[in-house]
Chains A and B, each alone.
Chain A
């Protein structure tokens, strides 16, 4: 068995307290989730809940609620993450209820969905949460029955003591367990003992999805909530000049037209504060259709931006980005790309004497690969609910990295970060786009200005034309073959807008004596961002396609080349 210190997870554990009245804990979420359940289901609900740690509570009847920490956008981590907890807790999966945890950094750590990190990052902490709760239940049983802890076993939510023939459901021991301190160390199960992990379980939300239950960000509503939409500039490289809202304001159902500024002067942006349009016009009214109609009547004048540089505090440290002025187009992009692709790029890596190898080659094979800007196009367009009341902020938004927008929200609103509450409704797709949560800041600023709960909705057109796109890339590969069809040199020249996709040190670098990698890039005011590892996936596709072409031209199979590993 793996003995594991819980100390790394300690900050994420609530003090295990028995709650008032012997431990009653009926949260708002819980009551809300009872709606729509059959009478039978409600009757089966526990009368009392005992919170063992921030990830789970146990009812007096043995039902377990597991708070799943990360927001869901379709990979079904709302099923798989609770499975990790349930496995180590050792409960029957049928007795588990899954609830979405709100944003709470101290309780739930880094609630980040993306980067293929969900399960990898949660693998240990969630198992630990289950294992430490199980340990506390065993301790409670050992104390109650006055027997040694080591002799207490568990099976599917039931505690047993063999020699005294005592047994009790988790629900019976939950109250006592909740009063114990969280153990310093716990033992995690061996992989061979897994009963839940590794077995396919159905999506815990499927039944609600096929019935059309409200669950997405865009379904969120509160009493008195208004609908807001934003008028964006018609192109990148433009910003707000002035607005004439007289006609729009006179339209039926319209409450207000406001302008917002997404960043406070001097705010240092993080890597996910990407936003080409920080100054915008928002229109607010009673219903979506009315706001959509009135939005068309807004007369907004836009002006070109002036070029600037900005420093971003991203994941890889501080980076300076140059944002040029001017309107861009596919034609100007293609002209510049052709020009740069035709010149020698910046040499990033050079091994051996590639020039000589190409000069002496019997055959040279060359191919170029390219990818355009791509919009994520999540099925659910961007949206966010916000209610700013004085110095309190309530947010409910489909968002991939809640913690990273909190500093921006706090700065833009002028409200302390600890006053911001955020619910994490399901995302109708994310694909990286919902990691860039400027729309949450926009919603909050609109709510603050109009002093009402609002839901900001992007239309499909807004969503597509104000993208944080997958960048445009291009790569030209050249291979030199000798008269025996041996691969003697490889040359890659890659570039993109606004970044190069090149990984100069990845394969085939190091596998060939003569190798050269060059790059170029073109500054742009078009915003780009995460979307299924843009650089890696583009380069992998280009490289694999090219090597196949080389093998074909050489009349041999790919792995027969003399890679000099």
Chain B
């Protein structure tokens, strides 16, 4: 066990866990931030995607000891009131079916659009490629990412 001071969604939070614990389980079990989802635990599905200093990472394969001083942003901290351009686009298009993969999809899309504000279709496909949606909402995801890119640019 070791104590970690984590910067999560703009707040500092202290946890006392095994240093090898993946951030996913620290978020879900210890900090009650359950928006980040467990889908596979082996970096294959994207359901657990969060931001570390703005970069999308898979929380299931990021140990808590590797987080250090970096700012963690989870779906709960992406915006105050679901008004991040990606969230707004998601609502406009009504993307989710079951919804389980969507936090990961949104976090991947948000980090991607930070780097590439005017993506082509194939760049969107490439960026979103690692996020599985078992319900198959891919066409709506693509549509929403495009809308988000446009609205974020105005």
- What residues of chain B lie closer than 8 Å to A289, measured between beta carbons? 17-18, 21-22, 25, 29
**Shortest distance in angstroms between B21's beta carbon and chain A's nearest beta carbon?**
5
A429 to B99, CA, bound (A): 8
Counting chain A CB atoms within 10 Å of each CB, the highest count among B37, B97, B106 belongs to B97
User: B113 on the interface (CB 8 Å rule)?
Assistant: no
Contact of A428 among B1, B17, B21, B99 (CB under 8 A): B99
Does B99 contact A74, Cβ atoms closer than 8 Å? yes
- What residues of chain B lie closer than 8 Å to A72, measured between beta carbons? 98
Does B87 contact A210, Cβ atoms closer than 8 Å? yes
Sampled A-B contacts (30; CB under 8 Å): A75-B97, A203-B94, A203-B96, A206-B91, A206-B94, A206-B95, A209-B99, A209-B103, A210-B75, A210-B82, A210-B106, A211-B75, A211-B87, A212-B76, A213-B35, A216-B100, A218-B38, A219-B34, A288-B25, A288-B38, A380-B98, A426-B99, A428-B100, A428-B101, A429-B98, A430-B98, A431-B134, A457-B38, A459-B41, A460-B41
- What residues of chain A lie closer than 8 Å to B150, measured between beta carbons? none
Q: Scan B21-46; emit 1 where CB is below 8 A from any A CB, else 0.
A: 11001001110111111111110010
Contact of B37 among A73, A377, A428 (CB under 8 A): A428
- What residues of chain B lie closer than 8 Å to A431, measured between beta carbons? 134
A74 to B18, CA, bound (A): 36
Does A212 contact B34, Cβ atoms closer than 8 Å? yes
Tell me how many residues of B have a C-beta within 8 Å of chain A: 44
Does B41 contact A76, Cβ atoms closer than 8 Å? no
Does B87 contact A252, Cβ atoms closer than 8 Å? no
A227 to B98, CA, bound (A): 24
**Shortest distance in angstroms between B92's beta carbon and chain A's nearest beta carbon?**
9
- What residues of chain A lie closer than 8 Å to B17, measured between beta carbons? 287, 289
Closest A-chain residue to B89, C-beta based?
A: A210
- What residues of chain A lie closer than 8 Å to B103, measured between beta carbons? 209-210, 212
User: B74 on the interface (CB 8 Å rule)?
Assistant: yes
Does A210 contact B100, Cβ atoms closer than 8 Å? no
Given A74-B97, A460-B40, A378 contacting B82 (CB threshold 8 A): no
Q: Scan A440-459; emit 1 where CB is below 8 A from any B CB, else 0.
A: 00000000000000000101
User: B90 on the interface (CB 8 Å rule)?
Assistant: yes
A322 to B37, CA, bound (A): 39
Tell me how many residues of A have a C-beta within 8 Å of chain B: 42
**Which residues of A73-89 have CB atoms within 8 Å of chain B's CB atoms?**
73-76
**Which residues of A274-333 have CB atoms within 8 Å of chain B's CB atoms?**
287-290, 292
Does B25 contact A212, Cβ atoms closer than 8 Å? no
**Shortest distance in angstroms between A470's beta carbon and chain B's nearest beta carbon?**
14
User: A221 on the interface (CB 8 Å rule)?
Assistant: yes
**Shortest distance in angstroms between A306's beta carbon and chain B's nearest beta carbon?**
35
Sorted from nearest, which 8 A-B pairs have the closest CB atoms?
A212-B35, A428-B100, A74-B98, A212-B75, A74-B97, A209-B99, A379-B100, A289-B25
A235 to B134, CA, bound (A): 25
Given A380-B98, A429-B135, A211 contacting B76 (CB threshold 8 A): yes
Closest A-chain residue to B40, C-beta based?
A: A460
User: B152 on the interface (CB 8 Å rule)?
Assistant: no
Contact of A429 among B21, B74, B134 (CB under 8 A): B134
